[in-house]
Structure 1
């Protein structure tokens, strides 16, 4: 990735957060492109990931955390819940040494930098999901799209094999970079 992953992650969370701030009260239960997820569930997912980040980047294991971050984490102020969780995650990402630390995930250990790439990619793709769900323009930051595509090319097959993403969508040969990235993640128009 030619962009510092911490900066990419922060920017992707900022873009997602801008959309969270625009969710109207009547939109929290709208469906998203993520099957079986509504807007509330999507935001809760990102909040959960953000809350996990400081713990995992500090060396804690999934087993140590147990079910502490299960359930509804949004409470009665989903926007504030997201803002706080995102701020904590970004702070942890920029912690000295975070990129080189070993992060203990459920499927095995990875370097902090790889974990942040995964978080960045998830936040970026879910930004598109959120925009589509609440009727906002769905163009993603082109620099973030390029950075994500460069990283994702090496891991796409493993993501698909584990069932984390859907089947790759077919595209015309002249598809733009964002459409190609979304198709790789099983999304598209």
Structure 2
């Protein structure tokens, strides 16, 4: 079975492939997440990726505050995804990152658990995005085994 960082990388790459495949008329397509269209779903994952660097860097949710408020996608959702994914990957793969504690709204949490949650979200919402786009919805078997 692949390790956590490898699974995170693969699922992040897969989500990125899907983001790159979104056509100009696809952003408002529905997804299995009843309250989110494709743009909302991508916005959610971009936001999640943006939080990784400050949280893994030692900031608390309160310290980050409203830094990522608003629409992080702007006029170029693909570029927003790429920038957020790059920053997240750098933070997650930094030496010792998984051994830290992150300060979430629910309290101190092992960083490994936080990255597990991010990986789970990439798996589930990658499927949601693929479904919304009419793309291949096959799931990474190692990732499914890992999160179950």
What's the TM-score, normalizing by structure 1? 0.76
Could you tell me how far 1:19 is from its partner in structure 2?
0.4
Equivalent residue of 2:21, what SS? Answer: coil
Could you tell me how far 1:45 is from its partner in structure 2?
0.6
What does residue 10 of structure 1 align with?
9
What does residue 111 of structure 2 align with?
112
Gaps of 5+ in 1: 150-189
Equivalent positions of 1:157-176 (< 5 A) are none
Q: Quick check: which has more Rg, 1 or 2?
A: 1
Relative contact order higher in (CA < 8 Å, ≥ 6 apart): 2
Paired residues, number = 148
Gaps of 5+ in 2: none
Distance 2:70 2:40 in 1: 10
Distance 2:97 2:3 in 1: 13
What does residue 144 of structure 2 align with?
145
| Pair 1:20-2:19 in alignment | yes
Deviation per CA, 1:3-41, whole angstroms, max 9, x where unpaired? 321111111110111000100111101111112101101
Distance 2:12 2:64 in 1: 23
4+ residue runs of structure 1 moved beyond 2 angstroms?
A: none
Distance 1:107 1:32 in 2: 28
Distance 1:8 1:70 in 2: 28
What's the TM-score, normalizing by structure 2? 0.97
Query: What is the root-mean-square deviation of aligned Cα atoms in Å?
Result: 0.9
